[in-house]
Structure 1
């Protein structure tokens, strides 16, 4: 009991969500992959602006998510000193949920998003939830194609899901059992 309380106070992730920095090889390039820190938020916001031209998340959303180390994992991928991608996922007893994924435009189409998704799917399989879910913009056909390739199935449409643009989202899910 004291150990769990100490982890909460120290904001230390449980062993199952520990993620040591590592090199990830995608194609013929090596990248540095590690847990996201508060110091990475500015780069993550810039990356989102480059992709979405508006920011679905703000600084407070990232700060809040990064504090939830007991049930979430946010990773950043670097080429040299430049952040080129990030991904976040919540892990619950029955469901894991991809909260956010972004790959900078200059690195899109190289398999980075797929590699990060596969990593989170594998983490979810290790932790035992029955399914993994996500929301995707209904007009983002490239992302939907990737998720279908990874075994996700289409779900219901959420009208006006994205607050800043009033865009629609589709729920997608993949069984892990």
Structure 2
């Protein structure tokens, strides 16, 4: 375990607001009950595939004190999510996945999810956010670049299907903690 993180302990802190409403979309900490809808979004986004199983999500949301997800909800329906995990270096967080239902893509939901996570990680004193993205997913790479991420190395055959990934990162340590 990584001492000092435990995101669930921040749920009752007044100075760290985990819920927000932006343009009619509610952003909140994901719960176990969201997993079925998360899997449906994965099938939608990944053309019938589900890269993560129910148990993967359950572990990260319920059991892993060093990981959590933020969900985007419209009228009670989950439309997107972002997951992070604290790395072994303690001050670095890793975006494990980001997905927005195809019907809601292009409306800023993905941008807001990443910005919510960046805001929260900055408030919690983290220094860097990292992620991997498919080499052929230029749309996602563009989103991350617009949000201040830099492109790092190419990771050959990173995905189970042999696809390559691009490693990206963004520094947080110089950002305001207000």
Do structure 1's residue 46 and structure 2's residue 43 form an aligned pair?
no
SS of aligned partner of 1:109: coil
What runs of 5+ residues in structure 1 fail to find an aligned partner? none
Do structure 1's residue 107 and structure 2's residue 101 form an aligned pair?
no
Runs of 4+ aligned residues of structure 1 deviating over 3 Å after TM superposition are: 16-23
SS of aligned partner of 2:144: helix
- Count matched residues: 164
Of 129, 143, 168 in structure 2, the residue corresponding to residue 132 of structure 1 is: 129
TM-align CA RMSD: 2.3
The aligned counterpart of 2:145 is 148
Using structure 2 for the length normalisation, give the TM-score: 0.83
Higher helix share: 1
**Residues 68 and 140 from structure 1, CA distance in 2 versus in 1: closer, same or farther, beyond 3 angstroms?**
same
User: Quick check: 1:14–1:70 contact (8 Å CA) kept in 2?
Assistant: no
Do structure 1's residue 168 and structure 2's residue 164 form an aligned pair?
yes
The aligned counterpart of 1:89 is 84
**Residues 88 and 116 from structure 1, CA distance in 2 versus in 1: closer, same or farther, beyond 3 angstroms?**
same
Do structure 1's residue 119 and structure 2's residue 116 form an aligned pair?
yes
Higher strand share: 1
**Residues 173 and 47 from structure 1, CA distance in 2 versus in 1: closer, same or farther, beyond 3 angstroms?**
same
Deviations 1:48-95 (A, max 9, x none): 011112111111111111124532221111111221101111235220
What runs of 5+ residues in structure 2 fail to find an aligned partner? 174-178
